[in-house]
Amino acid sequence: MAQTLQTTFGSASAGDPYIPTGGNGGYLAEHYDLSLDYRVATNRLNATAIITARALMRLDRFSLDFAGLSMEKVTVNGERASKVTHSARKLVISLATTIEAGAEFKVMVRYRGAPHAVRSNWGDVGWEELDDGVLVSGQPCGAASWFPCNDHPSNKASYRITIACESGYTVVSNGALSARSSRSGRTSWTFDVREPMATYLATVLIGRYRRRDLAAAPVAHSLYFPARLATRVGTDFARLTEMIAFFADRFGPYPFASYSVVVTDDELEIPLEAHGLAVFGSNHVDGNHGSDRLIAHELAHQWYGNSLTVARWQDIWLQEGFACYAEWLWEEQRGGRTVDQLAALHRGKVQALPRDIVVGDPGPHDMFDDRVYKRGALALHAIRKSLGDDAFFAALRAYTADRRHGHVSTDDFVEFFAEHTGSRVIGGFVARWVQQTALPSL
């Protein structure tokens, strides 16, 4: 008797305990082509997503993260899905024709609705209406609020993002602006992201912005801001060119083709990083360099977080610890307190806080806790003091070059630094500062 082949379906989770319902199994998304037609005045979106993916197993069913919008049509390789189930956070697609392991396939999802942020353990994340425009903040699980996706940082992909809206607005998104056209009072903007990008770093920003190009070297960088904030923005970001050059010297070449900063007319609780850009609120510009620390932090994420991305959220100290350490490096560079002084100061502050989390695995509720940031930075400073500046920064530059546009983990970091420097103490420093609750001395 002939043996019956068993068809399979991908898991509806990436298996990350920090976001147990986030991401999906059975395939990897390789490219997203998003076409968004948006009405700012009424917050109405009509959109089509074409996702190019590759099966990791034999599939007769798989899922996408998708929240808050209405699905109109789904096809796979041009063929209508045999069944589509849409729950609060998932689009489950049953196939009319089985996809074999290793095969490339294309998913088309046509959808519409009034996009809005989705609730999470970290507040509302995703698509957010501003007073007069839009902001998307996807970290860690908000990408599904505006496009169907495999919403987990372990699956990075290239993108084409096209957004059409009323012509009075400027649109900013990730990657290079490759096309723009206007017709009947509406303008269409197309952006291409050629490097692999995590879903949470994809963004759309719509507002009545002016653009100011600052410099073409060491990488092209620009500011977008409301006209009323022109003077303050000009002062506060006057050192951005110098900052990019300084971090490129310490960390290695800037990892993308350009860098943009968007200052919204609205106030924001915190600045936000995205692939190739950062977003600040009007409250973060005072015309007196009051946010230099935050500007340094978000810029550093282009290396640590956006190019070198954690494959699981428990390792987030590798992103936030580096960005925090960049703040200290910049303050010293500008003639302020030294990194030694700042490390001692913040160790004292951490010592006054409860020692009840392991920053290398803080748990989902504490992954953005300030102790993750500060103890992560302190771990890096301890390693630097042990190795010396020349060896430490040479290892950093090698690390960002070798893992460029890829994924990192704590074990990977320890192994790389130990092998590159020949030092046997790296694992011990990481164990004491990152993997234990007790607070070491400097």
Q: DSSP states of 38-89 as a string?
A: EETTTTEEEEEEEEEEEESS-EEEEEEE--SSEEEEEEETTEE-SEEEE-SS
d(CA 72, CA 181): 27
* Closest C-alpha among 392, 401, 404 to residue 308: 404
d(CA 87, CA 148): 13
Question: Dihedrals φ, ψ of 138, to 5°?
Answer: -90, -10
Element (H, E) at 145: none
Active site (catalytic) residues: 298, 373
Q: Where are the beta strands (DSSP E) in 185-276?
A: 186-197, 204-207, 210-215, 220-225, 258-263, 272-274
Would you call 96 helix, strand, or coil by DSSP?
strand
d(CA 96, CA 425): 56
* Closest C-alpha among 424, 308, 434, 420 to residue 378: 434
Handedness of CA 150, 151, 157, 161 (dihedral sign): positive
Contacts of 226-234 spanning 24+ positions with Cβ under 8 A? 226/263, 226/264, 226/265, 226/282, 228/265, 229/263, 229/265, 229/282, 229/285, 231/287, 232/285, 232/286, 232/287, 233/263, 233/285
State the pairing for strand pair 59-65/44-55: unpaired
Q: How many residues does the chain have?
A: 442
Q: Which residues are annotated as a binding site for Zn(2+)?
A: 297, 301, 320
Enumerate residues 6+ apart whose C-beta is below 8 A from 411: none
* Closest C-alpha among 357, 301, 365, 292 to residue 328: 292
d(CA 208, CA 434): 43
- With beta carbons less than 8 A apart as the criterion, state whether 60 and 95 touch: yes
